[in-house]
Amino acid sequence: MLKLKMSIVLLIIAQIAISQAKLSNDFKVINSTPYKVVDAKMKEYFSDNNGNIYSIKTNNANVIIQKFDINTMKEVARKTYTEWPPYNKSLGILELGESFYYLYESLDKKTNKKTVYARQFITTDCTLDKQVKLFSSDGSVAMGPIGEDLGFWGMKGGAPFTIYRSFDDSKFMINYRRKPLLKRDAANHDLLGFFVFDTSLNKVWGREVKMPYTEKVMNNLAYTVGSDGTVYMMAFHRDDKSFKFITIPKEGDLTVTGLNKGDYMFQRLQMKENKDGNFDFLGYYANGLDYKFMEGNLSLNTNGITHFELSKKGEIIKSDDIEFPIDFINLYASNRQKNKNNKREKGGKSGIRDIKLREFSVNPDGSMFVLGEQYYYFVVYNAANNSYTYKFYYEDLVATKISADGKVLWMKKLPKRQFGTSGRGGMGISYIKGKNSHYILFLDNVKNADIGIDEVPARHVDGKGGYLTAYKINDADGNYTKHTLYNSLEVNNVKTYQFKTSRIVKANDNTLVVEVYIKGKKDMIIKMELVE
């Protein structure tokens, strides 16, 4: 009985501590008027940058569109569309100039071909215009890279189509990969689809192209479309350990230019055309893979950032490698990990585990902002019931600003600890660019509400509540502060559920919103206004 009473007392003390956590003065949090819930498999949100946000919720043959007025915090329109091609799936919202388009795919089960369509979204009356067919594949389309948002099922692959935009927004390109014709990587050459359109959805060109190397040796790292409508991609050749800059024109053979960029490993590169008509490449590099015995998997040992600029002919204009210092690597690491890092540093092997590139933007002055997040997962097998458990980890952040001439202006490691078993869920981050600051939002353990910004945080477990938290980074000098916005389980005395970081959207320069579920089969918008 005494133990029971003590447990109740401790629970009450914990609840009091949670309710008394100091909330940030940088944000004003407001609840919307509740509205009838919309259940859907796929939910997307966007803003017209004019005081309204929209959601498009796709559930196979049903697509529901909602419009919200951010000033009045009310749902002002809702429309349902039920006539769609078979096996309809959303590809997302594409903004072209002042217009918005809803893109979606359809499957023909007899031929296994997929067709991509678009419908213009009219913001004034919240309607969809007529359907426009963009293209059909020549055969079966493969799933894309593993999608974090899809959780366990995402381990089978992500979205099959990816959309890229040119630097001046005059063109966009849709890319996909055909299912392999041969099962052996050593014999199969990827067949990739590239379809380019202008801002009026007119097809500039499109075709499927056979890659020059087999899957075994070719690692496709990045794609983009130039303002002239030409497609460019970067691959890594595993055998000769060189980059291959590939130009894919409207007609004719593709052009391959080899680049010797050192014995590095990458999971992905970001590729962007710049104002000079050249291409910026940026990514986190590793000098090797580590085998994690207890996890039974491989981990990328991230050593730093590489950035290089190429001309359209594949000529290297400049190249910079930024190595993580050992003191930076050791920040927020356990003593045991620090000792390992220090020993590995003697051989040049020390790094930060599994950094994924989340944000890469180029400023008008040529400087760059780079944001990475630690993300990894592993699988645990339970022999007793012949089942598998996936464990997902979202941890420290690395934020860097690089000058136009390749110098590090500042680099910060921001502590974060998140764990879950259902994919991304409410974990990960949402990045928002403010006027003079960078905002990184994430769900944090309630125990971390009042700790110092440089203290190692307690681990947040997905699905167990938590506070919506923001790191605010000053763009000029990299100094940062930590802000607690609200308790995700109860906002302004309203109990809330189903929070997802991926649902946070920027309504305008100083306003963020997120949709959550509340009791009574209703949804609600939470508005977070920046007070700068």
Planar angle of CA 242, 248, 251, nearest 5 degrees: 150
- CA 460 to mean position of chain CA atoms: 20
Q: Over the stretch 283-296, which tens digit does the pLDDT of each residue have?
A: 998 876 665 656 66
Tell me what pLDDT residue 293 has. Answer: 57
Residue 403: both structure tokens together: 């000058």
Q: Over the stretch 442-451, which tens digit does the pLDDT of each residue have?
A: 999 999 988 8
- Is residue 505's pLDDT more than 70? yes
Banded pLDDT at 458 (limits 50, 70, 90):
very high
8: enclosing H helix or E strand: helix 2-19
Tell me what pLDDT residue 449 has. Answer: 85
Mean local confidence (pLDDT), 102-121: 95
Backbone angles phi, psi at 16, to 5 degrees: -65, -40
Tell me what pLDDT residue 251 has. Answer: 93
8 A C-beta contact, residue 458 and residue 418: no
Mean local confidence (pLDDT), 211-223: 91
Residue 514: both structure tokens together: 């997120």
Q: Is 348 left (phi over 0), alpha (psi -120 to 50) or beta?
A: left
Q: Which residues contact 248 (CB under 8 A, 6 or more apart)?
A: 194, 209, 230, 231, 232, 233, 254
pTM value > 0.85: yes
| Average pLDDT score, the chain | 88
8 A C-beta contact, residue 196 and residue 229: yes
Q: Which residues contact 15 (CB under 8 A, 6 or more apart)?
A: none
Banded pLDDT at 2 (limits 50, 70, 90):
very low
8 A C-beta contact, residue 420 and residue 445: no
Residue 196: both structure tokens together: 């380019």
Tell me what pLDDT residue 399 has. Answer: 98
Residue 391: both structure tokens together: 């464990």
471: enclosing H helix or E strand: strand 467-474
**Rounded CA separation 131/103 (Å):** 10
More confident residue, 2 or 401: 401
Mean local confidence (pLDDT), 39-50: 89
Mean local confidence (pLDDT), 442-464: 91
Tell me what pLDDT residue 7 has. Answer: 47
Banded pLDDT at 276 (limits 50, 70, 90):
confident
Q: What is the DSSP string of 159-227?
A: -S-EEEE-TTSSEEEEEEEBPPSSS-TTT-EEEEEEEEEETT--EEEEEEEEEEEETTTEEEEEEEE-T
